[in-house]
Amino acid sequence: MKTKAEQPVAENTPVATPAAEPTPRAPRKPRTKKKAPLKVLLCASEAMPFIKTGGLADVVGALPLALARQGVDVRVILPKYRLIPETYRNSMEHVVDFTVLMGMEKVYCGIDTLKEKGVRYYFVDNLALFGGDQVYTGDRDEGYHFAFFCRAILEALPRIDFFPDVIHGNDWQCGLLPVLLRAQYAGDPRYDAIRTVYTIHNLKFQGLFDIPWLNTYLGLDNKYFTYEGLEFYGVLSCMKGGIVYSDRVTTVSPTYAREIQSAYYGEMLDGLMRSRKEALCGILNGIDTDSYDPENDRFLRVTYSADNRRGKAVLKAALQQECGLEQKPNTPLMGFIARLTAQKGLDLIERVLDDIMRQDIQIVFLGMGDRHFEDFIRSAEKKYPGRVAAKVEMNEALAHRVYAGSDLFLMPSQFEPCGLSQMIAMRYGSIPIVRETGGLKDSVEAFNVYTNEGNGFSFTNYNAHEMLYTIERAVGYYHNEKLWDGLVRRAMGTDFSWNQSAKVYLQLYQELAK
């Protein structure tokens, strides 16, 4: 939509002063048109409040709202999954339908839209591709689904009358966007003017597929399948495509941006990350402070604040009752909410659980994942009845209650690009215990008893006994009421909103759009 030019403002008539020369007029300023807002299209495979499997949805749900508050014409596009709640599906308006050429096949594509909290969302509709009972299938067809998604986005731009200054893709599902833009849309000035930003949320998941099979549908020249391009140890890496062909590459914390340039964290792409270090930056994610607000949380029976935490004690007792734990108000309750995988440090917990439980402590585990770790937390619950609770499920409401009802929050990750749970926990006054990696290092300041500074506890090495010692230290300080009160106040007062991070993204977009 074209922005109307600003109407010229009438000049004020100068007032004459007696016994003086007439005041000269100021030089006439040239009439200028009001500058059009920066246009950004955020592309992702999931976004709150429509569809969520992990932290990516939280980021793509919150960032556009913060950008819009700063005057950006930001829009979001994602697949129209059958799993999107019916209330949203029924609110969508159909914009257009067309066919997308995938190799020799013409594939149907519909574009639907709705506005949510002032932001325009578009949905790529193809029931055959996005109508299953899972967001991610984990099979070969997933490569085709998201190759179609990337091409559909580029084909949709003239049909929705929105050519952005910047296309911002997220994770491997959008990695082919900058590749296709450069390879197959060059020469059209509308597309040539678009700049690209690509965000790595987790380098481990790269979208690896067979080259000849997927290129049947992409139709890319063989020159794109070299070591310098999409080829990755004999297969096609969608993630690598986004890294190589985007104008700028970001990741979700400054520490993770440094870590992925090393062999330990680089997932065999560390050399590429070092070669693109001038285009790489880390921007710490924020959280949606409206959704995660202990003073206004729809999932809590009572609310509370940093200045009045009586409600937190009530919620702790309710959580103990809900999870079958002993009703002990003075025993620290530690929460753990995550995918149950080795990345999240569960192997460390498994190794020293008996040592942890020698203390007066309770633990609530919430999550699903590897069968081994699901069985581990279930066995821990049986071994320590009334002290350990295992909730093998994905339950948003219960997650809010765990954040609110826990005193400590354990997050001993092997690696963590950003992590949102430690930020959410602090907002609810649950003090994090983290390993110093990625966004955990950037967001948690270790408590210093001598200066009475810090908002959590941390340990450096991926070592079970370092974690154990840090838990013991935290439990010890929990019983010092004065120290603990100050620690909780600082944690709850830490600003993890998107405001600051959105400013950094805005500056990045503006630099590219010059």
Q: Which of 18-22, 105-109, 227-231, 405-409 has the lowest mean pLDDT?
A: 18-22
Per-residue CA distances from 250 to 148, 177, 243, 283 (Å): 24, 15, 9, 7
pLDDT value at residue 16: 35
- Quick count: other Cβ atoms within 10 Å of Cβ 349? 23
Strand 408-411 to strand 431-435: parallel, antiparallel, or no bridges (unpaired)?
Answer: parallel
List Cβ neighbours of 34 (8 Å cut-off, separation of 6 or more): 3, 4, 5, 6
Does residue 301 have a pLDDT over 90? Answer: yes
Q: How far apart are CA 312 and CA 291, in angstroms?
A: 17
Give the range among 30-39, 42-51, 216-225, 426-435 with minimum mean pLDDT: 30-39
CA geometry: angle at 55 spanning 259 and 299, to 5°? 140
pLDDT of residue 28: 43
* Edge-to-edge order in the sheet of strand 280-282: 93-102, 105-116, 119-125, 73-79, 39-43, 166-170, 195-200, 248-251, 280-282
What mean pLDDT do residues 421-447 have?
97
Here the tokens at position 250 are: 């970001």
Distance CA 100, CA 114 (A): 22
The pLDDT assigned to 34 comes to 60
pLDDT of residue 175: 98
Kindly tell me if the per-residue pLDDT of 450 is higher than 60: yes
Average pLDDT of span 176-184:
97
CB under 8 Å to 289, separation ≥6 — which residues?
427, 496, 497, 498
Question: Nearest 5°: phi and psi at 115?
Answer: -110, 135
Q: Tens of pLDDT along 25-72?
A: 344 445 445 678 999 999 999 999 999 988 899 999 999 999 999 999
Summarize the confidence of residues 365-393 as an average pLDDT: 97
Average pLDDT score over residue span 250-270: 97
Average pLDDT over residues 428-455: 97
Taken as a whole, the chain contains a residue count of 514
Which residues lie below 8 Å from residue 306, measured CB to CB, with a gap of 6+?
A: 429, 488, 489, 492, 493
Looking at residue 25, what is its pLDDT? 38
- pLDDT tens for 189-212 read 999 999 999 999 999 999 999 999
Among the four given CATH numbers 2.120.10.30, 3.20.20.70, 3.40.50.2000, 3.90.580.10, the one describing domain 310-493:
3.40.50.2000
**Continuous segment of H or E residues that includes residue 218:** helix 211-218
Q: 325 to each of 140, 158, 364, 367, 396, how far by Cα in Å? A: 44, 58, 9, 18, 20
**Is pLDDT at 7 greater than 50 in this prediction?**
no
**CATH H superfamily, domain 39-286+499-513:** Glycogen Phosphorylase B; (3.40.50.2000)
> Coil, strand, or helix at residue 131?
coil
Radius of gyration of the chain (CA): 26
Please check whether residue 342 is in contact with residue 414, taking contact to mean a CB–CB distance below 8 angstroms: yes
What is the structure's pLDDT at 33?
A: 56
**346-356 vs 464-478: helix crossing angle, rounded to 10:** 50
310-493 and 39-286+499-513 share a CATH fold? yes
Q: Where are the alpha helices (DSSP H) in 342-414?
A: 346-356, 371-383, 396-405
Q: Span 147-176, mean pLDDT?
A: 98
State residue 35's pLDDT score. 74
Mean pLDDT along residues 361-385: 97
Least confident piece of the model among 23-32, 298-307, 372-381: 23-32
Percent helix, strand, coil in the chain (nearest 5)? Answer: 40, 20, 40
Position 272 confidence tier, pLDDT thresholds 50, 70, 90 = very high
**Sign of torsion, CA 398 403 409 413?**
positive
Distance CA 410, CA 509 (A): 36
DSSP state string for 416-480: -SS-SHHHHHHHTTPEEEEESSHHHHHH-PBPBTTTTB-SBEEESSS-HHHHHHHHHHHHHHHT-
Is pLDDT at 93 greater than 90 in this prediction?
A: yes
Distance (Å, whole) CA 286 – CA 8:
40
Tell whether the torsion through CA atoms of 20, 22, 28 and 34 is positive or negative: positive
In this prediction, residues 81-109 reach a mean pLDDT of 97
* Helix ranges, 249-304 (H): 254-259, 270-275
Tell me what pLDDT residue 36 has.
83
Annotate 306-321 with b (16+ C-beta within 10 A) or e (fewer). Answer: beebebbebbbbbbbe
The pLDDT tens digits for 343-354 are 999 999 999 999
- Count of alpha carbons within 13 angstroms of residue 442, beta-carbon side: 24
Q: Which sequence spans correspond to the domains of the chain?
A: 39-286+499-513, 310-493
Tell me the whole-structure pTM to 2 decimals: 0.88
List, in sequence order, the alpha helices (H) in 109-194: 127-130, 141-156, 177-184, 189-192
Pick from 178, 233, 226: which is nearest to 209 by CA? 233
